[in-house]
Amino acid sequence: MAFPKDFLWGAATSSYQIEGAWNTDGRGETVWDRFCHTVPSKVANRDSGDVACDHYHRYREDVALMCQIGLQAYRFSVAWSRVLPEGIGPVNKKGLDFYSRLVDELLAAGIQPYLTLYHWDTPQALQDRGGWANPASVQWFAEYTDVMTRYLGNRVQNWTTHNEPWIVAFVGYFYGGHPPGMTDLTTAYQVAHHLLLAHGAAAPIIRQNVPNSRLGISLNLNPIYPGAPETEHLSAAFRQDGFLNRWMLDPLFKGVYPADMVSLVEPYLPPIDLTTVQSAAVPLDFLGVNYYLRNVVLHDDNELPLRLRHIMPEDAQKTALGWEIFPEGLTALLVRLQQDYAPAAMYITENGSAFDDQVLADGTVNDPQRIAYFESHLAALEQAIEQGAAVKGYFAWSLMDNFEWSHGYDKRFGLIYVDYTTQKRTLKQSALYYRDKIRG
């Protein structure tokens, strides 16, 4: 067994996906509220996070379930607009109090809170002023960070700034599948830049307000494979790696954008001084790695700007989301991150799978495919550790079934099954598997 004794076992969620109570106790509107309510064509079944898992009212029950699984840590995010309904300015005491009660409940249960400041639910009031495309967003985020760290810094040690900033920028502003649903590559690069600067601006505030703080950021990282052995496909894989992975990793660890990518996408870049991204390269206590799948690409001259297209290997095993199950990719990714960036530590801040779970007549939920997914990925993780990757913990995605963004409630990722009509929670077999794994 490569897992060291102090290896940390946890599970993750995010605010918009589980809390519900979208307009309760003074919470301000978020971009996801607006998107679900006004662009239902982009969200399956016209679902929204209005109620979700009603975690806002049921957090005590949910922490008790975490104890049943034996979790040592819980990764959650704060809904910025619960705390600052307008994104900046007046603080909503009731919103702060919710997170205070949640943290106290976790600490009393012996579960370490891992707090993410931003997991995609931008306050709509700030979006109305351009959101992350506005250079002022860096200051807005700093202000919010200051409020949260002053309030919870005495009880929460582990802070992550952003969850998957790449997705915010490129799915929100280039592919258009997330709010604000834009399809403009230049704006996407501008947004990515400001997210990076905001991370850099938040870091010293966290350091100052939180004694013994541990600072991280979670990235969506996919290892990239060429779909054929010819050199042109190897180059295509390197470009996709630059687009998706290095565009975030190089600024965070080296303070510069990758030069090959800068020249490739030059015509699409906004008129900003790219060297200012240096401020994103603050020392990190850990890199959060969210891993679900790999990318397989082929060179294709017709597909601009990257001149590549994605393919699905013919024999691929897939989850209910159509994502390829490829545990070896996790080993490869982690070993590569260690070699190229040497982070002080890494945590798998998300890893998991969606399957079509059914409640059986006896009330249990049998999910052998999810168990197999965890088993193979934990084995892959063990191999990475054996090969020198400094991974210190693992957070299963997700603690419970929840609002899976544009897929609505159709896609279930939870260790815990949620019946959305009754809000009844049931531990799936995978939760019992995970409990035994943690005990072992």
Among 47, 350, 367, 401, binds ligand FCB (CB under 6 A): 350
Region near ligand FCB per CB under 6 A, out of 161-169, 176-184, 250-258, 267-275: 161-169
Six token digits for residue 98: 């919710």
Nearer to ligand FCB, 137 or 349 (CB): 349
- Taking residue 164's Cβ as centre, other Cβ atoms within 10 Å add up to 24
| Inter-residue long-range contacts of 260-265, CB under 8 Å, 24+ positions, other chains counted | 264/239, 264/305, 264/306, 265/185, 265/189, 265/305
**111: alpha, beta or left? (left if phi > 0; alpha if psi -120 to 50):** beta
Please say if 164 is a catalytic residue: yes
222: contact with ligand FCB by CB under 6 A: no
Measured from the CB of residue 404, what is the shortest distance to ligand FCB in angstroms?
5
Q: For ligand FCB, which is the closer residue by CB, 320 or 438?
A: 320
Convert 395-414 to b/e letters by CB count within 10 Å (16 or more is b): bbbbbbbbbbbbbbbebbbb
Of the residues 19, 105, 350, 404, only one is catalytic, namely 350
Nearer CB in complex with ligand FCB: 105/350: 350
Q: Which is nearer to ligand FCB, 9 or 170 (CB)?
A: 170
Set 105, 164, 328, 386: catalytic member: 164
* Segment near ligand FCB (CB under 6 A); pick from 62-70, 160-168, 185-193, 225-233: 160-168
Q: Among residue numbers 10 through 29, which ones bind ligand FCB (CB under 6 A)?
A: 14, 17
Residue whose entry in the numeric block shows the structure tokens 């834009």 = 182
Count of residues touching ligand FCB (by CB under 6 A): 12
Question: How far apart are alpha carbons 83 and 384 in whole angstroms?
Answer: 39
Q: 298 has which bridge partners?
A: 309
Segment lying near ligand FCB (by CB under 6 A), choices 66-74, 159-167, 230-238, 328-336: 159-167
Q: Which of 158, 160, 163, 213 binds ligand FCB (CB under 6 A)?
A: 163
DSSP assignment string, 294-315: -EEEEE-TTSTTTTEEE---TT
Hey, which bits of 51-91 come out as E strands? 73-77
For residue 116, what are the β-bridge partners? 77, 160
Where is 140: in which H helix or E strand?
Answer: helix 137-152
Nearer to ligand FCB by Cβ, of 163 and 426: the residue is: 163
Minimum distance from residue 350 beta carbon to ligand FCB (Å)? 6
- Nearest approach, Cβ of residue 182 and ligand FCB (Å): 19
Q: How far is the CB of 14 from ligand FCB (least distance, A)?
A: 5
Q: CB 287 → ligand FCB: shortest distance, Å?
A: 15
**Per CB under 6 A, which of residues 290..309 are in contact with ligand FCB?**
290
Phi, psi of 224 (to 5 degrees): -110, 130
Is 350 among the catalytic positions?
Answer: yes
The CB-of-222 to ligand FCB minimum distance in angstroms stands at: 11
Segment lying near ligand FCB (by CB under 6 A), choices 110-118, 162-170, 262-270, 360-368:
162-170
Interstrand relation of 416-419 and 424-427 (parallel, antiparallel or unpaired)? antiparallel
Q: How far is CA 84 from the centre of its chain?
A: 22
Nearer to ligand FCB, 14 or 295 (CB): 14
185 or 354: whose CB is closer to ligand FCB?
354
Least Å distance, CB 377 to ligand FCB, is: 14
Binding residues among 369-428 for ligand FCB as defined by CB under 6 A? 397, 404-405, 413
Listed residue (220, 248, 253) closest to 120, CA to CA: 220
Q: Are 270 and 189 in contact (CB under 8 A)?
A: yes
Give the CA angle between residues 77, 78, 80 to the nearest 5°: 135
Residues that bind ligand FCB (CB under 6 A): 14, 17, 163-164, 167, 220, 290, 350, 397, 404-405, 413
Residues designated catalytic: 164, 350
